[in-house]
């Protein structure tokens, strides 16, 4: 175990490692400036549990209707060995789909282990890659691996289509609707980033087998229901931009040691007995975890855990509320900061970080540092215009 | 956002309640608006679950779909919703008013009022757009026939949703957006999307600060989400068992409890807005809404086709042109109506307010026939003027007169005036600002903007794909029907759970 | 490789196989020359021709160049009611100015802005040349495209995209989205339309071309038309001896030597009109003047003084421009100070750039737009001096990637974030720190 790994293990404490999923890896790109998140993710800490422990629980997870709809749609697309899907690839995307065989790596009820599934995935991909451009294979429930900050994360793409136009394509099935050719841009972006994680992992695996990155297409196939009925439609999504961003953030994660070196030596997020409870449903689950009630288990004093959190520097922005389990804690901590009022507010207020400072400078009741002289001038002018305008309207 | 709004947010943090960012009301508030609070089933493409709707705060009408994945029930909901919305929307055609056209003889007639729907948030506008899309092509005959009211509802909802894109239109308002136009809270725009939290800042309950009220408002148990998405915990613990059991009275009770708080909030938002004094130019924009309403009613009466699924190349370009012109005029009108909005432009250096310190009202240029009155004035101001020499400016109080910025000197801003001074050799009294007068100039104009020419649909050029395929000069039949056939056929597979 | 693409362009245009041909031109690659030569060739064939540009200034520039290139042709300048012909147009007997087509009889070539052409109807020309086509919006092309049978579209894909004052996604994904650029819409309807590229920048020196090409034209690329040593700057006055002027002079020296220099102010979150940054921009430009800088190049082998009119200062915002102008004062009379928008298509010997991300904590899409940085970083023939506060690499690393993705909308490359990363990684190696 390296120094960094040992250090991360101490930071995590006795709790089991929370493994990365495609979703958590994709989340690395949503607020990469946040040291707190970087440390917690690198140490494999269950942020949801931590948030609940410090009494800022995540309000709620995913609706059972959304989950069952997602599962039913995926089952429908994959029915009959993906016959409908293959037709769609041919008709909608003009992808020639010759003689495609279908292989399910985890048929329901077999309960194959992660390692076995990964080995089998690798074996089938090696065969398909060696078979040349004519042999098509659709791999269902494949299992890939990606190195994330020194730890292996297991990833489960919906499907991998082999050798469409001579390349491997990642297929992502989502249950949000495409209506008259348009879909929610944020949902497509999330799907694209997640699929880009699979592309990276697939490229990594093929590189081990001696194939170059061009073997895997940087366009992924997105399958969604069309309009208001339940028929699937397909679209190609270019994920080159997501690949660049992910690659950069993964390489920063690899340098987590620099960040950890700046933290107190005895820092740990160990929750004591409460943290050692195994989390149900670990691994592979792509749905956001649900709030689990883990009260009543005696553990480390909350104030100590809060202290540990304060020892790491967060970069809270309101957008975190939709993207990070700890956001409500960080929001509370950031009260009184201008950045908590919106990502652009800090810059608009001349770079003054705190609300009190802004108001005092605007009122002229605080003497600005030389660094803040211009900000003070801007704020005084803004305050004068506001006061004058409000008065003139009376 | 801007520095001024951000400062107002900071002030709201300290004050513990929202701060005004407008001194007048910029939206029209109807005497009798229709409030619509829709809910959809999670995971589905805009499948309605329930709605609370009505024009009387004391008499909400509850509509519920007991099995949201059942096609017949979905259309029964649409029929019932049509009963409320279409009859409300149709109900402003009794009185007309005459309007003068460009020339004195051109007298047009339009309806004297128009409907106004208020939904809780932009999600409600999306609901209207998507539900309009899923119903307007339905047919009341043949296979999968629906009640004739259903496609009519679709065409009205689409009309409202399209007007909501139009800057300054008030036919369909989202309460959160209308409120955010007038108040800055001590939280972020992201959090302002929650209507209960936003009103918690604007109108905190006695004994609470805005921040405390907003935190309470985030508890989905007390303040259910304002829709159209429901609270996932409610879905799993209440809704799923009731749908499973087919317990209709139970569902109605549970959904009433989810909808009623938001229903009350939307009406509170309407009341808060109504209490503000209307800006002078709000009525003019409502006139434009009445014109649009009149045109839509006329289109329906003439048997016109439903709105297409997507705009053609020519329709898209024309619509963009209309939207951009409306945007420019809306921005200028708001600034002219409201000193706080104007202050944004003053802070940016694009407008200034000051006092006339020197005037040369009889200054002329040229001689003989080309002799022109070109008075000079100097306006002294403390505002940071960042306008380039040569920029044409207008004072909102003297809209017929152009002022060209000549120079910015230590004494103030030197302006050269033209127009609006009468025909005599010297300016008519009062037409040139006098020394000591306080005046505002900016580069904003709300003047006439010519409508651009676009090719007709059948003349769509090759660069844009040529005339749309299957183009029919009278698209009432084929184009509309083809679309309807498509969706009706796809709809057969709709019920699947 | 032949650097003259005109014969191939004309061959495609005349082949009858395509209704249009696109020519992509990186900064300073001779776009105007190509437009003028193509117009001359087409006019020589005897067919009447129209030329469309985006602004009156661009139109006047083309009129003058065309009048020189085709002295025996009568050129029509179609203009709006309130147009005042500048002296360079009035002086030319072969140029006629008309408010309407009827006032321009017998003109083989008629030139006007797109907005003016949109008011002309009921006539079809066999040929058109559309200049700055990447800066023209698709809805404008829709209004003028029925005026011609075939057309040559010329423009720079790396510069600022056209924009709209309304923000709706009603049309995203449509091939005729009116908010897209004219070329984007054209190519989505005609994917097989030939696209040629001008391969050589005659403006950018060998120090700049690879940097700009890698950051902003990652797939197409281009080369400098000159080689190392063909251009250089010399100073006739000595550097100032004062301590505070030291870093300024060092920056000017480094830029003269390497083509780029980054003048780095201490990290600080500042107001947009950051006074120190504005002053640094002004002082650097003035140092170039005060040092008696002389530019030697293939055009002026004997050297030519870098006078005020050969220097520009560029910034992202208008208020920043105003702030720099006010510090510059009368000593800087004649130096151009403007926003990226207004510097498009212009060329100078030396430029000073206020980095769009300087002093910021967070970047918006506006500040990250690759076209904005591309314009600012590609106006110079000799050297570009960038002023920024420290901390931009950290800002870029911390930037959240949350832009929505739309179906059926081609991803635009380069991405602004990547282009900024690429540019910064080059500039960081050429950094002079200001005295704090």
Q: Which runs of consecutive H residues, i.e. helices, occur in B183-281? A: 189-192, 195-202, 210-217, 232-234, 240-245, 248-274
Chain A residue at shortest CA distance from B384: A381
Residues 6+ apart with CB under 8 A from B384: A381, B347, B349
Q: For residue B387, which of B363, B359, B415, B356 has the smallest C-alpha distance?
A: B415
Question: By the 8 A CB rule, do C347 and C297 touch?
Answer: no
- Residues B43, A69: C-beta atoms closer than 8 Å: yes
Q: Which residue of C has its CA nearest to B458?
A: C146
- Residue among B320, B323, B324, B456 with most chain C CBs within 10 A, to mutate: B320
pLDDT at A53: 93
B443: left (phi over 0), alpha (psi -120 to 50) or beta: alpha
Please identify which residue in the block is written with the tokens 């570009």. Answer: C384
Q: What is the DSSP letter of C181?
A: B
Lookup result for tokens 């540990």: A308
Interchain CB distance below 8 Å, B188 and A230: no
Same domain, B438 and B461: no
A69, A319, A362: residue with CB nearest B7:
A362
**Out of A59, A338, A385, whose CB is closest to B347?**
A385
Residue B174 has pLDDT above 90, yes or no: yes
Task: Return the number of other C-beta atoms located less than 10 Å from residue B132's C-beta.
Answer: 22
Taking residues B257-277, what's their average pLDDT?
97
CB B17 within 8 A of CB B23: no
Could you give the 3-state DSSP secondary structure of residue B132?
Answer: helix
- CB contacts of B386 in chain C (<8 Å) are 318-319, 322
Residue A223, pLDDT score: 95
Handedness of CA A110, A115, A119, A125 (dihedral sign): positive
- Lookup: tokens for C201: 């920048």
The range of the structural domain enclosing residue B9 comes to: 3-306
* Cβ contact, residue pair C143, B317, below 8 Å: yes
Is B452 part of a structural domain of the chain? Answer: no
Q: Is the pLDDT of residue A295 over 50?
A: no
Which tokens hold the place of C381? 């023939």
Which are the contacts of A28, defined by CB distance < 8 A and separation ≥ 6? A41, A246, A249, A250, A253
Report how far residue C227's alpha carbon sits from residue B113's, in angstroms, rounded to the nearest whole number.
73
Res A69 pLDDT > 60: yes
Contact criterion met (CB below 8 Å) for C284 and C352: yes
Q: How far is it, in rounded angstroms, from Cα A266 to Cα C419?
A: 41
What DSSP state is assigned to residue C160? P
Of B312, B450, B392, A185, the closest CA to residue C407 belongs to A185
| Chain B residues near residue C121 by CB distance under 8 angstroms | 453
Q: Looking at the structure, do residues B432 and B464 belong to the same domain, yes or no? A: no
pLDDT score for C6: 95
| B165 shares a domain with B41 | yes
Indicate yes or no: CB of A349 within 8 angstroms of CB of B10.
yes
Q: Do you know the residue count of chain B?
A: 497
Q: Provide DSSP, C104-134.
A: -TT-SEEEEEHHHHTT--S--EEEEEESSGG
Chain B positions with Cβ closer than 8 Å to C? 165, 167, 310-314, 316-317, 319-321, 323-324, 327-328, 348-349, 386, 452-455, 459-465
pLDDT of residue A277: 53
Residue A194 CA to residue C119 CA, distance in Å, equals 49
Residues of B in contact with A383 (CB under 8 A): 7
Co-location of B133 and B193 in the same domain: yes
Residue B228: cis peptide before it, omega within 30 degrees of 0: yes
* Residue B251 or residue B101, greater confidence: B251
Judge whether residue B479 has pLDDT over 50.
no
Which residue is closest to A224 within chain C, CA to CA? Answer: C407
> Which of C402, C403, C407 faces A235 most closely, judged by CB atoms?
C407
Looking up tokens 């540019």 gives C423
> Do B83 and B19 fall within a single domain?
yes
> Two tokens at B474?
């009278």
* C137 DSSP assignment: B
A255 lies within 8 A of chain C by CB: no
- How far is Cα C289 from Cα B13, in angstroms, rounded to an integer? 50
Looking at the 3D structure of chain B, how many domains does it have? 3
On whether any CB of chain A is under 8 Å from the CB of C169, the answer is yes
Least Cα distance to C281 among C310, C313, C240, C252 occurs for C313
Q: Do C362 and A346 touch (CB under 8 A)?
A: yes
CATH fold group of domain A64-251:
Lambda Exonuclease; Chain A (3.90.320)
A364's torsion region: left (phi>0), alpha (psi -120 to 50) or beta? left
Residues B386 and B470 in one domain: no
Mean pLDDT of B300-318: 95
Residue of C nearest to B310 (CA): C171
Distance CA C131, CA C41 (A): 16
Within chain A, how many helices (H) and strands (E) appear? 14, 8
Residue B329 lies in a domain: no
Give the per-residue pLDDT at C218: 87
Across the A:B interface, residue pairs with CB atoms under 8 Å apart total 165
> Which residue do the tokens 């059972």 mark?
A64
Task: Find out whether A175 and B43 touch, Cβ atoms under 8 Å.
Answer: yes
Which H or E run contains A238?
A: strand A232-238
The model's pTM? 0.93
Check residue B78 and give its pLDDT.
97
* Model pLDDT, residue A181: 93
Q: How confident is the model at residue A134 (pLDDT cuts 50, 70, 90)?
A: low
| C273 vs A: CB within 8 A | yes
**Range name among A18-22, A173-177, B240-244 with the lowest pLDDT average:** A18-22
Residues B30 and B167 in one domain: yes
B15 assigned to some structural domain: yes
Which of B261, B287, B306 is where one domain is finished?
Answer: B306
- pLDDT at residue B480 greater than cutoff 60: no
B313 by DSSP, 3-state: which?
helix
- pLDDT higher than threshold 70 for residue A213: yes
Place of tokens 């009278």: B474
Does B87 fall in a domain?
A: yes
| Adjacency order of strands within the sheet including C311-315 | C336-339, C311-315, C348-354, C380-389, C260-265, C431-433
CB contact residues (below 8 A), chain A span 348-367, against chain C: 350-351, 353
Q: How many Å lie between the alpha carbon of C301 and the closest alpha carbon of chain A?
A: 44
8 Å CB contact of A30 and C401: yes
CB of A193 within 8 Å of a chain C CB? The answer is yes
Strands C380-389 and C348-354: parallel
Q: Are residues B359 and B241 in the same domain?
A: no
Do residues B167 and B217 share a domain? yes
Of the partner residues C398, C408, C411, the one whose CB lies closest to the CB of residue A181? C408
- C157's enclosing H/E stretch is none
Q: CB–CB of A228 and B11 under 8 A?
A: no
Cis peptide before C13 (omega within 30 of 0): no
B420 in contact with A at a CB cutoff of 8 Å? Answer: no
CA distance C176 to C185: 6
- B431/B462 same-domain check: no
Locate all alpha helices (DSSP H) within C271-382, ordered by sequence: 275-290, 318-328, 340-343, 365-368, 370-376
**Of A150-154, B462-466, C115-119, which gets the smallest average pLDDT?**
A150-154
A286-306 burial, b for 16+ CB within 10 Å, e for fewer? eebbbbeebeeeebbeeeebb
Burial (Cβ within 10 Å: 0-12, 13-18, ≥19) of residue A80: exposed
- Cβ neighbours of C269 in A, within 8 Å: 346-347, 350-351, 353
Q: Which tokens belong to A268?
A: 């740990």
Same domain membership, residue B372 and residue B256: no
**Nearest Cα residue to A238 out of C408, C180, C189, C170:** C408
- Which of A37, A176, A182 should one mutate to test binding to chain C, selecting the residue with the greatest count of C CBs within 10 A? A182
pLDDT by residue for chain C (436 residues), tens only, comes to 457 899 999 999 999 899 999 999 999 999 999 999 999 999 998 899 999 999 999 999 999 999 999 888 899 999 998 898 999 998 888 899 999 999 998 899 999 999 999 999 889 999 999 999 999 999 999 999 999 999 999 999 999 999 999 999 999 999 999 999 999 999 999 999 999 999 999 999 999 999 999 999 988 889 999 999 999 999 998 777 676 679 999 999 999 999 999 999 999 999 999 999 999 999 999 999 999 999 999 999 999 999 999 999 999 999 999 999 999 989 999 999 999 999 998 999 999 999 999 999 999 999 999 999 999 999 999 999 999 999 999 999 999 988 999 999 988 878 899 999 999 999 999 999 998 6
Contact C363, C388 (CB under 8 A): no
Helix, strand, or coil (residue B265):
helix
Handedness of CA A109, A111, A116, A121 (dihedral sign): positive
Q: How large is the C-alpha radius of gyration of chain B?
A: 27
Set of chain B residues whose Cβ sits within 8 Å of the Cβ of C168: 165, 323
- The set of residues, in sequence order, having a beta carbon less than 8 Å from that of B309 and lying 6+ positions away, is A180, B133, B483
Phi-psi label, residue B366: left if phi above 0, alpha if psi -120 to 50, beta otherwise: left
Q: Which residue has the tokens 């014969």?
A: C7
Distance, CA of A297 to CA of B304 (rounded, Å)? 68
Q: pLDDT tens digit string along A245-292?
A: 999 888 888 788 889 999 999 999 998 866 555 444 333 333 333 334
Question: Tokens standing for B191?
Answer: 């959090």
Residue B111 within any structural domain of the chain: yes
C-alpha to C-alpha distance for B189 and A343, rounded to whole angstroms = 10
CB atoms within 10 A of CB B295: 12
Q: Answer whether C178 sits within 8 Å of B316, measured CB to CB.
A: yes
Cβ pairs B/C, distance under 8 A: 89
**B353 and B298 share a domain?**
no
Cβ within 8 Å, pair A185-C406: yes
Give CA separation, A185 vs A191, B121, B429, C412, in Å: 10, 19, 59, 16
């Amino acid at each position: 175990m390296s120094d960094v790994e040992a250090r991360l293990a101490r930071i995590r404490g006795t709790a089991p490692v929370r493994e990365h999923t495609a979703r958590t890896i994709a989340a690395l790109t949503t607020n990469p400036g946040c040291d707190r998140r970087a440390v917690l993710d690198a140490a494999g800490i269950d942020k949801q549990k931590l948030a609940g422990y410090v009494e800022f629980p995540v309000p709620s997870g995913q609706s059972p209707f959304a989950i069952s709809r997602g599962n039913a749609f995926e089952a429908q697309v994959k029915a009959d060995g993906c016959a409908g899907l293959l037709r769609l690839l041919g008709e909608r995307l003009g992808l020639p789909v010759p003689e495609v065989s279908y292989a399910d790596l985890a048929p329901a009820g077999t309960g194959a282990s992660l390692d076995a599934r990964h080995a089998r995935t690798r074996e089938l991909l090696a065969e398909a890659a060696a078979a040349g451009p004519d042999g098509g294979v659709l791999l269902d429930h494949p299992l890939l691996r990606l190195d994330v900050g020194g730890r292996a994360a297991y990833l489960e793409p919906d499907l991998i289509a082999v050798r469409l136009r001579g390349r491997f394509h990642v297929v992502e099935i989502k249950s949000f609707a495409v209506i008259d050719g348009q879909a929610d841009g944020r949902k497509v972006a999330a799907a694209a980033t997640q699929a880009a994680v699979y592309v990276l992992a697939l490229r990594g695996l093929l590189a081990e087998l001696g194939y170059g990155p061009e073997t895997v297409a940087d366009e992924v196939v997105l399958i969604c229901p069309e309009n208001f009925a339940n028929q699937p439609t397909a679209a190609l999504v270019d994920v080159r931009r997501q690949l660049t961003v992910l690659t950069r953030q993964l390489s920063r994660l690899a340098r987590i040691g620099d960040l950890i070196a700046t933290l107190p030596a005895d820092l740990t997020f160990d929750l004591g007995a409460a943290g050692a409870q195994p989390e149900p449903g670990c691994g592979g689950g792509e749905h956001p975890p649900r709030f689990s009630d883990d009260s009543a288990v005696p553990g480390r004093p909350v104030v100590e855990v809060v202290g540990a959190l304060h020892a790491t520097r967060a970069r809270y922005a309101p957008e975190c509320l939709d993207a990070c389990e700890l956001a409500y804690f960080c929001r509370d901590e950031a009260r009184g900061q201008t950045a908590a009022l919106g990502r652009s507010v800090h810059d608009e207020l001349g770079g003054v970080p705190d609300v009190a400072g802004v108001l005092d400078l605007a009122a002229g009741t605080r003497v600005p540092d030389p660094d803040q002289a211009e900000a003070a001038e801007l704020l005084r002018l803004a305050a004068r215009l506001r006061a004058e305008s409000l008065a003139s309207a009376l | 956002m801007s520095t001024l709004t951000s400062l107002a947010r900071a002030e709201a943090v300290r004050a513990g309640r929202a701060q005004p960012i407008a001194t007048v009301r910029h939206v029209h508030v109807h005497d009798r608006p229709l409030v619509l609070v829709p809910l959809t089933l999670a995971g589905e493409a805009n499948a309605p679950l329930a709605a609370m709707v009505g024009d009387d705060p004391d008499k909400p009408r509850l509509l519920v779909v007991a099995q949201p994945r059942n096609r017949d029930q979905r259309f029964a909901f649409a029929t019932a919703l049509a009963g409320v919305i279409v009859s409300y929307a149709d109900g402003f055609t009794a009185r007309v008013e005459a309007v003068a056209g460009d020339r004195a003889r051109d007298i047009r007639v339009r309806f004297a009022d128009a409907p106004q729907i208020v939904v809780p948030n932009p999600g409600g506008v999306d609901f209207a757009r998507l539900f309009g899309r899923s119903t307007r092509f339905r047919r009341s005959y043949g296979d999968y026939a629906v009640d004739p009211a259903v496609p009519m509802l679709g065409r009205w909802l689409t009309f409202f949703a399209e007007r909501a894109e139009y800057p300054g239109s008030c036919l369909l308002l989202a309460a959160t957006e209308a409120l955010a136009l007038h108040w800055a809270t001590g939280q972020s725009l992201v959090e302002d999307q929650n209507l209960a939290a936003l009103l918690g800042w604007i109108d905190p309950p006695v004994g609470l600060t805005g921040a405390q009220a907003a935190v309470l408002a985030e508890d989905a148990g007390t303040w259910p989400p304002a829709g159209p998405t429901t609270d996932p915990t409610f879905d799993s613990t209440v809704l799923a068992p009731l749908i499973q059991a087919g317990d209709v009275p139970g569902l109605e009770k549970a959904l009433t409890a989810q909808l009623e708080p938001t229903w009350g909030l939307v009406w509170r938002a309407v009341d808060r807005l109504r209490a503000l004094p209307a800006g002078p130019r709000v009525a003019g924009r409502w006139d434009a809404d009445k014109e649009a309403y009149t045109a839509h009613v006329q289109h329906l009466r003439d048997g016109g086709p439903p709105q297409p699924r997507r705009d053609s190349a020519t329709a898209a370009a024309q619509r963009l042109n209309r939207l951009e012109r409306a945007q420019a005029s809306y921005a200028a009108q708001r600034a002219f109506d409201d000193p706080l909005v104007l202050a944004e432009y003053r802070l940016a250096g694009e407008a200034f307010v000051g006092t006339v310190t020197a005037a040369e009202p009889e200054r002329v240029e040229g001689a003989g026939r080309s002799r022109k009155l070109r008075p000079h004035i100097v306006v002294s101001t403390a505002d940071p003027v960042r306008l380039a020499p040569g920029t044409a400016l207008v004072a909102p109080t003297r809209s017929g007169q152009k002022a060209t910025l000549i120079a910015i000197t230590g004494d103030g801003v030197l302006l050269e005036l033209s127009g609006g001074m009468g025909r005599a050799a010297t300016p008519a009294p009062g037409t040139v600002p006098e020394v000591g007068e306080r005046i505002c100039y900016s580069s904003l104009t709300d003047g006439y903007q010519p409508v651009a020419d676009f090719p007709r649909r059948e003349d769509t050029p090759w660069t844009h794909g040529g005339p749309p395929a299957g183009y029919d000069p009278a698209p009432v039949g084929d184009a509309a029907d083809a679309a309807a056939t498509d969706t009706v056929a796809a709809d057969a597979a709709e019920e699947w759970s | 490789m032949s650097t003259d693409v005109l014969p191939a362009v004309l061959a495609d245009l005349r082949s009858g196989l395509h209704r249009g041909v696109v020519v992509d031109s990186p900064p300073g690659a001779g776009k105007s020359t190509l437009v003028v030569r193509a117009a001359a060739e087409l006019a020589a064939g005897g067919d009447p021709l129209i030329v469309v540009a985006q602004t009156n200034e661009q139109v006047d520039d083309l009129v003058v160049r065309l009048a020189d290139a085709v002295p025996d042709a009568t050129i029509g300048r179609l203009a709006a009611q309130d147009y005042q012909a500048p002296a360079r147009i009035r002086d030319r007997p072969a140029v006629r100015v008309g408010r309407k087509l009827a006032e321009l009889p017998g003109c083989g070539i008629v030139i006007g802005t797109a907005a003016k052409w949109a008011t002309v109807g009921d006539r079809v020309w066999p040929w058109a040349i559309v200049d700055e086509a990447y800066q023209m919006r698709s809805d404008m092309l829709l209004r003028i495209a029925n005026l011609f049978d075939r057309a040559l579209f010329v423009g720079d894909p790396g510069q600022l995209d056209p924009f709209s004052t309304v923000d709706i996604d009603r049309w995203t994904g449509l091939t005729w989205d009116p908010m897209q650029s004219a070329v984007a819409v054209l190519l989505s309807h005609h994917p097989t339309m030939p696209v040629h590229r001008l391969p050589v920048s005659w403006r950018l020196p060998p120090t700049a071309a690879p940097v700009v090409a890698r950051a902003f034209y990652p797939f197409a690329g281009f080369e400098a038309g000159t080689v190392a040593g063909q251009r250089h700057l010399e100073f006739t006055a000595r550097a100032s001896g004062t301590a505070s002027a030291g870093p300024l002079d060092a920056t000017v020296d480094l830029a003269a030597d390497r083509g780029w220099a980054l003048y780095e102010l201490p990290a600080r979150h500042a107001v947009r009109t950051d006074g120190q940054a504005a002053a640094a921009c002004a002082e650097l430009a003035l140092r170039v003047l005060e040092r008696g800088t002389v530019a030697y190049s293939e055009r002026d082998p004997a050297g030519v003084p870098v006078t005020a009119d050969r220097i520009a200062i560029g910034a992202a915002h208008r208020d920043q421009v105003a702030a720099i102008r006010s510090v510059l004062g009368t000593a800087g009379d004649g130096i151009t100070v403007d926003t990226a928008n207004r510097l498009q298509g212009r060329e100078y010997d030396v430029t000073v750039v206020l980095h769009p991300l300087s002093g910021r904590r967070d970047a918006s899409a506006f500040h990250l737009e690759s076209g904005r940085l591309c314009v600012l970083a590609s106006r110079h023939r000799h050297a570009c001096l960038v002023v920024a506060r420290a901390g931009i690499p950290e800002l870029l690393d911390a930037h959240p990637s949350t832009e929505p993705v739309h179906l059926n909308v081609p991803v635009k490359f380069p991405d602004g974030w990547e282009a900024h990363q690429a540019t910064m990684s080059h500039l960081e190696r050429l950094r002079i720190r200001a005295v704090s």
